[in-house]
Amino acid sequence: MGSPLSAVIANFFMEDFEKKAIEQVTHKPLCWFRYVVDTFVIWPHGQEKLTEFLNHLNRLHNKIQFTMEKEEEGHLPFLDIDIYRKMDGSLGHKVYRKPTHTNLYLHQNSHHHPANKQSVLASLIQRARALCDKDSLTQELEFLTTAFKDNGYNPQQIRRSMEPATRTAKTNDKLTSTAYIPYTQTTYGRLSRMLDKHNIKSLALPPRKIFSYFPPVKDSLGLRTPGVYSIPCECSRV
C-alpha cells in the first residue's frame, strides 16, 4: 500500500492467478473480463457448474475470495454500465445508476465559474454517448435533459452541451504566465481582462468549502518515539 508499483504488481499476480485457475477446470467461461477487482463472466454451462467453478476459485488462495452477482430480470450492473439482454438474445449496454442516486449535480445558481458548470453537463453527455448503445442513447439523453432542468439549467445551456460548437477557441500565443484567482462573480471578469492585457492567463479557482474554515478536531500526535516499526508475517518472520 502506498507504493506506485502496488497496483501493477497486484495486477500481474491476478493475471497469473486467473490463467492458472481457468486452465485447471474442464468447464470454462465463455468470456472473462476483469477491471481491478470486478470481473464480468459469461457462463454457458448451467447453475450447478457455475457454483462448482466459484468454489474452485475460492479454494486456490485463502486471501483471494470471489463473490458472485447474477443477472436479474435480464439486467446485470458492471461498473457504471447496465448490461441487459435484448429480445433477440444479444447484449445491450447503457448507463447504470444505483437506486439511491438523487440526480443532484452542480446547480446553475451555485457560485462557480460558468465553465465549471458547463463542463458538468458536457461530461455527463459524453459519458452517455460512451456507455450507451444506439438503442438506449436517446432515452439517456432525455433523462439527462430532465435532470439538467431540475438543477436549474435553461434550454439554451442544455442545447449547447448536446450540440457542442465545432470551432476551436482562439488562444493568445503571447500569454507568458498564469494567475490562479478565486472566482467571484463581481471581480473575476475584471481581473482576468486586466491580466490579459499584460499577457497573463487567468484561471478561476472554486470557492472554499465550509469545512476548510474550521480547524481539525483532533490533534496530530505523529510518531511518539523514534525507531523502526515492524509487521509480523504469517511465516513467523518480522
Q: State mean pLDDT over 21-25.
A: 94
Give yes or no for residue 100 having a pLDDT over 70. Answer: yes
Q: Using CA atoms in the order 195, 198, 203, 208, what is the torsion angle rounded to 10 degrees?
A: -40
68 is written with which cell numbers?
Answer: 458472485
Question: Whole-angstrom Cα distance, residue 191 to residue 198?
Answer: 11
What are the Cα distances from residue 183, in Å, to 186, 188, 205?
A: 9, 6, 6
**So what's the pLDDT on residue 177?**
85
Phi, psi of 56 (to 5 degrees): -60, -45
The alpha helices in the chain, defined as continuous H runs, are 6-23, 47-60, 114-131, 137-150, 155-162, 188-197
Mean pLDDT calculated for residue range 36-63: 94
Taking residues 177-182, report their average pLDDT: 85
Amino acid type, 219 = D
- What's the whole-number mean pLDDT along residues 71-76? 93
Q: What is the mean pLDDT of residues 10-36?
A: 93
Which residues touch 94 (CB under 8 Å, ≥6 apart)? 81, 82, 84, 131, 132, 133, 136, 137, 139, 140
3-state secondary structure of 194: helix
- Quick one: average pLDDT of 191-213? 83
pLDDT of 215 strictly over 60: yes
1 pLDDT exceeds 70? no
Provide the grid cell at 3: 507504493
Is 112 in contact with 133 (CB distance < 8 Å)? Answer: no
Q: Whole-number mean pLDDT of the chain?
A: 86
**In angstroms, what is the C-alpha Rg of the chain?**
26
- Distance separating alpha carbons of residues 237 and 230, to the nearest angstrom: 10
